């Protein structure tokens, strides 16, 4: 793969995750300005899970069989961008939610399609893809940095260098754009731009053209035979359960940081993605040293630790808040990336790709859906006269993650080849 194509794929991946990050984190705050109650805000985040469960059908039944991948990718981003424009102009929940769901139904399949475009045009995907995928994480970081540093002083736009990077806190009368529809509008225009840009990407023919594909194959349900292995079954169940407290972090952390007086909270949240890049580099080393079970347990332990830090923090202990955000890298990489490596080793060749699709369906789909609804319900129960009981909010997912950790420690058996090593 030549350097020109590498640059083009890096641009694609940067924009791909910028679109998601620019509105996803501040959405809870924006919905508060529309007086949307906590339960419905949880429903908004649960839409990501709904779309993730629908996504395999769009990719497997349509994109992989009938049309060039880059054309489907571009079309979905154009339609999704238009939907996000409507979302940004919504004044009520009834106008907001249907188009948010439509946007996500368009967006979630593009995550797999972006990977597919890269893989089919690379000589050595294992070597060439990781640096390009890193640009996606950088795109998410950039979106949070921009939203967290952008304000309106009256009608004038103002940029404030983040306080955690040495800048000064913005004046109290400046309004963060996170409180407005601007993040959705930015995401919409970037989505449309990426949609147009994608038509310049290399022709990527459908992988399964002329082949018949069943819904069971699309969802990776053939991988269910792996559930006969008790440890694999424990891993799948615990992966689903641990994604429920994950939803609490993405939905509630930004609003929590704001209430604790953390300036540039959207930018601070991106420190989690920065740590994600750092710990990703350490995964191969610790995977060899610790093995699958200990790696997964370390990841789950830090989920518990993060929520306990949040529960114990207040407006005078910002260091605990920053530390909890930084834990995101080890939480995510040591559990999800290690989990993907475990599935890759545990699954036979004939169901390996299906098994990865199945775990994505269970975690990003079902887990995030249930987590979104549960977080909204729990936050509503912990709200009195418009004030959230934050310690109660955070101890709930901490206890959930701790229970999952104990069950996993007792029930999961180290794969024999790993234990022998």
What residue spans define the domains of the chain?
A: 1-216, 219-421
CA 138 – CA 25 distance, rounded (Å)? 15
- Given a cut of 70, whether residue 209 has pLDDT beyond it is no
Q: How far apart are CA 62 and CA 117, in angstroms?
A: 15
Work out the mean pLDDT of the chain and round it to a whole number: 86
Looking at residue 263, its pLDDT comes to 80
pLDDT given at position 344: 74
Name the nearest CA neighbour of 251 among 24, 60, 63: 24
pLDDT tens column, 287-313: 888 888 999 999 999 999 999 999 999
Question: Quick one: average pLDDT of 274-290?
Answer: 85
Closest residue by Cα to residue 181 from 264, 250, 86, 112: 86
pLDDT digits (tens, 9 = 90+) for 1-17: 678 889 999 999 999 99
Q: How far is CA 45 from CA 273, 353, 373, 381, in A?
A: 19, 27, 8, 17
CA distance 337 to 389: 33
Q: What is the mean predicted confidence (pLDDT) over 118-143?
A: 85
How many whole angstroms separate alpha carbon 330 and alpha carbon 367?
19
Of 272 and 213, the structure prediction assigns the larger pLDDT to 272
Q: Where are the alpha helices (DSSP H) in 89-173?
A: 93-120, 125-149
Half-sphere exposure of 104 (CA within 13 A, CB side): 24
CA–CA separation, 294 and 412 (whole Å): 10
CA-to-CA distance for 24 and 376, rounded, in angstroms? 15
Please give the average per-residue pLDDT across 238-243, as a whole number. Answer: 91
Sorting pLDDT into bands at 50, 70 and 90, what band is 338?
confident
CA angle 112, 115, 119 (to 5 degrees): 135
> Tokens 């990841």 label which residue?
299
- pLDDT surpassing 60 at residue 420: no
Is domain 1-216 annotated with CATH 1.20.1250.20? yes
pLDDT score, position 221? 64
Distant-in-sequence, close-in-space partners of 376: CB < 8 Å, separation ≥ 6: 38, 39, 40, 41, 42, 43, 45, 46, 251
Whether the per-residue pLDDT at 364 is higher than 80: the answer is yes
Q: Is 219-421 in the same CATH topology as 1-216?
A: yes
Q: Which CATH superfamily is domain 219-421 in?
A: MFS general substrate transporter like domains (1.20.1250.20)
- Residue 74 above 90 pLDDT? yes
Of residues 400 and 316, more confidence is placed in 400
* CB-based contact 76:106 (threshold 8 Å): yes
What pLDDT score was predicted for residue 218?
56
Residue 210, pLDDT > 90, answer no
Examine the pLDDT at 421 and tell me if it is beyond 50: no
**Tokens at residue 205, please?**
């023919």
- Band (pLDDT 50/70/90 cuts) for residue 53 is confident
Contact 20, 188 (CB under 8 A): no
Tokens encoding 386: 């418009």
In order, the DSSP letters of 348-416 are: -GGGHHHHHHHHHIIIIIIIHHHHHHHHHHHHHHTEETTEE-HHHHHHHHHHHHHHHHHHHHHH----H
CA pair distance 267, 144, nearest whole angstrom:
5
How is residue 34 annotated by DSSP?
A: T
Query: For position 288, what pLDDT does the model report?
Result: 82
More confident residue, 392 or 113: 392
Question: What is the predicted pLDDT for the residue at 419?
Answer: 46
User: Which residues fall within 8 angstroms of residue 342, CB to CB, at 6 or more apart?
Assistant: 235, 292, 296, 415
- Work out whether strand 383-384 and strand 175-176 pair parallel, antiparallel, or are unpaired: unpaired
What percentage of the chain reaches a pLDDT higher than 90? Answer: 43
């Amino acid at each position: 793969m030549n350097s020109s194509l590498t640059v083009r794929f890096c641009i694609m991946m940067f924009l791909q995750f910028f679109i998601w990050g620019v509105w996803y984190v501040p959405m809870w705050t924006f919905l508060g300005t529309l007086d949307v109650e906590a339960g419905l805000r949880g429903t908004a985040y649960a839409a990501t899970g709904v779309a993730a469960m629908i996504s395999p059908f769009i990719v497997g039944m349509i994109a992989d069989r009938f049309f060039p991948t880059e054309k489907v990718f571009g079309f979905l981003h154009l339609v999704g961008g238009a939907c996000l424009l409507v979302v940004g102009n919504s004044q009520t929940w009834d106008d907001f939610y249907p188009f948010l769901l439509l946007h996500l139904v368009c967006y979630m399949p593009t995550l797999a399609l972006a990977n597919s475009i890269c893989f089919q045009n690379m000589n050595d995907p294992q070597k060439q893809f990781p640096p390009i995928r890193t640009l996606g994480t950088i795109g998410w970081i950039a979106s949070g940095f921009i939203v967290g540093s952008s304000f309106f002083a009256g009608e004038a736009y103002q940029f404030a260098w983040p306080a955690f990077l040495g800048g000064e806190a913005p004046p109290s009368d400046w309004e963060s754009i996170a409180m407005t529809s601007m993040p959705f509008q930015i995401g919409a225009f970037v989505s449309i731009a990426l949609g147009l840009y994608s038509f310049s990407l290399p022709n990527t023919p459908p992988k399964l053209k002329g082949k018949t594909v069943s819904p069971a194959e699309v969802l990776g349900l053939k991988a269910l035979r792996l559930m006969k292995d008790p440890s694999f079954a424990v891993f799948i169940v615990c992966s689903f359960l641990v994604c429920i407290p994950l939803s609490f972090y993405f939905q509630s952390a930004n609003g929590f940081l704001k209430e604790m007086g953390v300036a540039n909270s959207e930018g601070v949240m991106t420190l989690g993605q920065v740590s994600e890049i750092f710990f990703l580099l350490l995964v191969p080393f610790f995977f060899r040293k610790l093995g699958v079970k200990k790696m997964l347990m370390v990841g789950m332990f830090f989920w518990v630790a993060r929520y306990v830090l949040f529960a114990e923090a207040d407006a005078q202990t910002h260091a605990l808040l920053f530390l909890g955000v930084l834990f995101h890298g080890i939480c995510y990489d040591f559990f999800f990336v290690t989990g993907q490596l475990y599935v890759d080793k545990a699954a036979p060749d004939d169901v390996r790709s299906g098994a990865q699709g199945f775990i994505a369906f269970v975690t990003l789909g079902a887990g995030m859906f249930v987590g979104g609804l549960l977080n909204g319900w729990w936050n509503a129960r912990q709200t009195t006269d418009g004030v959230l009981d934050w310690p109660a909010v955070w101890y709930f997912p901490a206890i959930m993650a701790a229970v999952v950790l104990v069950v996993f420690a007792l029930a999961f058996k180290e794969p024999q080849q790993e234990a022998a090593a």
